[in-house]
Amino acid sequence: MTTQDELIARVRAYNPRTNEKLLRDAYAFGEAMHDGQMRQSGEPYFSHPVAVTMILADQQMDDATLVTALLHDTIEDTKASYAEVEKRFGREIAELVDGVTKLTNLQLNSTKTQQAENFRKLFMATSRDLRVTLVKLADRLHNMRTIKSMKPEKQAQKARETMDIFAPLAGRMGMQWMREELEDLAFKVLNSEARNSIIRRFITLQRETGDVIQKITADMRVELEKAAITADVIGRAKKPYSIWRKMQEKDQGFSRLSDIYGFRIITATEADCYRVLGAIHQRWRAVPGRFKDYISQPKSNGYRSIHTTVSGRDGKRVEVQIRTREMHEVAETGVAAHWSYKNGERVENRFAVDPVRWISSLTERLDEQQDHDEFLEAVKLEMYQDQVFCFSPKGDVIKLPRGATPIDFAFAIHTRIGMACVGAKVDGMRVPLWTRLKNGQSVEIITAQGQSPQATWIDIAVTGRAKTAIRRSLREEDRERFIKLGSELARVAFENVGKKATDKALRTAAKTLALDSVDEMLSRLGSAELISRDVVAAIYPDLAHKPGEEVDQGRAVIGLDPETQHRRAACCQPVPGERIVGITFRGQGVVVHAIDCAALADYEDQPDRWLDLRWQDGTHPASNTVTLDLTITNDAGVLGRICTLIGEQNANISDLNFVDRKPDFYRLLVDVDLRDAEHLHRVMTALEAESNVSSIGRHRDPKRATASFAKV
């Protein structure tokens, strides 16, 4: 455990004017209060507050924050009271300690409703004094570093909480180093096998290629010397969790990833940043679409840097971040820069932005939302997303989360614009409303009187603001449509158990479900806030569809008339568990598409042909064919092992075609009969883990959308 003298020496190194007596008094008080208490690891409990304090001292924090860290568990876990802490150390520190205690007592792993309320409290506490959150983040970091002493179920709970809440919060506050470490520590608990696999592959890669980082760093330094630019070059391999997330996002194996190395170039001036960019792009080819200038368009937390990805040595992609020393300090410490000291003086960094503004604006916007699920969804969207910057026709800059669409852009300008949106132009070209916007694009929203949000917009929008406004509009303007749809869903659900959805039956169901009226129940049923199985179970619990029963294939899709012919689209091959829509064909029936199917673009201007559908609840038969695109090594027995793996997942291969044969690799399309999306995930995960599988993905062909119609 760090001693008083060691702590004082660490603080005096960056703040010679520190109040040494205050720190020593706090150390002694905390040690006395925790005397006799032990951690689960067997260490004295006070070693934990001291370790938290050292983490904050490494961030060069002010005395009040350090004293709060030393005392942060005294009010909660010892006989010390708020009044005693205030008397000894003043009101500022007492309020900070009390704030940390309140955050600690939040049950962030509870139900959605409680969790939403906890988020409200967390942000309210954060907006009063961000140092409360800094201490809590440091507290969580040390607990994650020592998590092995906890029981396995407690480890999993804390790791999931860290991954869902604390790591994104640290990143949003600009403390990227802390976010990465929290994610990696949580990843180690939640999926140690995947993490170890990535580390092993890194070791193998280094053995095969040598120290790539050192070689590329040397190459960059040579180019900077040629351009007479003085700068520091730092290279590193990306963290295991960062690589894992990229593998999931791109649906690629480790061997297919190229940009697993990152380099930072730290310059003296802003002008040098752009000179470095020129030197790097002259020497190596830039990767299209991977350039971001956060110097001219900073992130809301003050982050400034130029990001570019280039094809480096042996064609390997490397990410390069270019920034000044001041920008680097903000990028590393984030919000902590507001309280950091150097040589006894508060550091004045012109690039530091107080995140209180972001948190205050967030709480103001979300205070208007009464629905707990919507609040929770909006908060997570606000916290977890990176940002893109787009321009309005007037030149105004609109900040949006990564992956945002023109619908999000419209609502970001004004709710009225979003409500009346009928189309969009990006850089002068008409685009579908589900287009993902990119940095620097100019967006024009096309509006029309009488237009109102469509139900499909919920799946297209990504911002909390847009989703909330769309849901509110749908509830207010489409209530009759939801009631009509809910009535049909109820009729089908009751017929499935041999009963009729009479007025009396529906009134009884609504009363049993504690709803105000039948219309309220039908409206919720039609808007998917309530499932038909629950309505049936309210009256006939023994007849309600059991999860283990197999769904009748002829009634697998809800939202169609009983006599309507339908089939799964051959282009996207949707399976139960995925969001679906239907496209009507006069005299032929309905084709069921996945919501993200590219072929839907052909029907964008024909909204009257679209149907809002969903899959029947329950266990579906393994009759939904999905085509998998596999690349495997050309070795003896590999194909046999692939077929065995699929069979072990209780899936049947209905067809297999080789589309490319090379001396070392085969590419083939495999038709597999599956039950649902979860079944598909299990099959693909099993194949992904096979060392002889180079790549795997779903084969989707928009050209197959025009296949002849046949009844399922």
Q: Do domains 385-469 and 564-712 have the same CATH topology?
A: no
Average pLDDT over residues 461-482: 80
Calpha distance 608→202 (Å, rounded): 53
Regarding predicted confidence, which is higher, 673 or 99?
673
Q: How many residues does the chain have?
A: 712
Residue 166 DSSP code:
I
Paired tokens of 288: 């299209």
When mean pLDDT is compared over 3-12, 306-315, 349-358, the highest value belongs to 3-12
Average pLDDT over residues 83-102: 88
What CATH number was assigned to the domain covering residues 564-712? Answer: 3.30.70.260
Q: Which residues of 147-167 are buried (b: 16+ CB within 10 A; e: fewer)?
A: beebeeeebeebbebbbbbbb
Q: Would you give the end-to-end CA distance of the chain in angstroms?
A: 69
Paired tokens of 711: 């009844």
Give percent of the chain above pLDDT 90.
Answer: 25
Q: Can you give the pTM of this predicted structure?
A: 0.53
In this predicted structure, the answer to whether residue 243 has a pLDDT above a threshold of 90 is no
Q: Which residues pair with 443 in a beta bridge?
A: 426
Listing DSSP states for 361-378 in one string gives HHHHHHTT---HHHHHHH
Tell me, rounded to whole angstroms, the distance of Cα 538 from its chain centroid.
36
Paired tokens of 447: 């509006």
Average pLDDT over residues 150-173: 84
> Reduced to 3 DSSP states, what percent helix, strand and coil does the chain have, rounded to the nearest 5?
50, 15, 30
Residue carrying structure tokens 């649902």: 676
Confidence of residue 250 (pLDDT cuts 50, 70, 90): low
pLDDT in tens, 166-207: 887 787 777 888 888 999 999 999 888 888 888 887 777 777
In this predicted structure, the answer to whether residue 705 has a pLDDT above a threshold of 90 is no
Of these residues, 77, 95, 374, 701, which one is catalytic? 77
pLDDT of residue 105: 67
The 3-state DSSP class for residue 669 equals strand
Q: Which of 371-380, 607-616, 673-682 has the lowest mean pLDDT?
A: 371-380
Q: Which of 257-271, 309-323, 342-356 has the lowest mean pLDDT?
A: 342-356
Calpha distance 418→635 (Å, rounded): 56
153: annotated active-site residue: no
pLDDT of residue 106: 60
| Residue range 194-346 in CATH 3.30.460.10 | yes
7: Cβ–Cβ under 8 A, 6 or more apart, which residues?
23, 27, 50, 53, 54, 57
In this predicted structure, the answer to whether residue 462 has a pLDDT above a threshold of 90 is no
Paired tokens of 244: 């894992």
Q: Mean pLDDT across the chain, nearest whole number?
A: 81
Domain boundaries, the chain: 4-190, 194-346, 385-469, 478-545, 564-712
Calpha distance 451→453 (Å, rounded): 7
| Consecutive H or E run containing 470 | helix 464-477
76: annotated active-site residue: yes
Confidence of residue 708 (pLDDT cuts 50, 70, 90): very low
Cβ neighbours, 10 Å, residue 20: 13
pLDDT in tens, 120-136: 555 655 556 778 888 99
pLDDT in tens, 334-373: 666 656 655 556 556 566 656 556 565 555 555 544 455 5
Confidence of residue 410 (pLDDT cuts 50, 70, 90): very high
Q: Taking Cα atoms as reference points, which of 126, 130, 163, 125 lies closest to residue 144?
A: 163
In this predicted structure, the answer to whether residue 253 has a pLDDT above a threshold of 90 is no
Highest CATH level, class, for 385-469: alpha beta
What CATH number was assigned to the domain covering residues 4-190? Answer: 1.10.3210.10
Regarding predicted confidence, which is higher, 498 or 34?
34
Calpha distance 92→693 (Å, rounded): 59
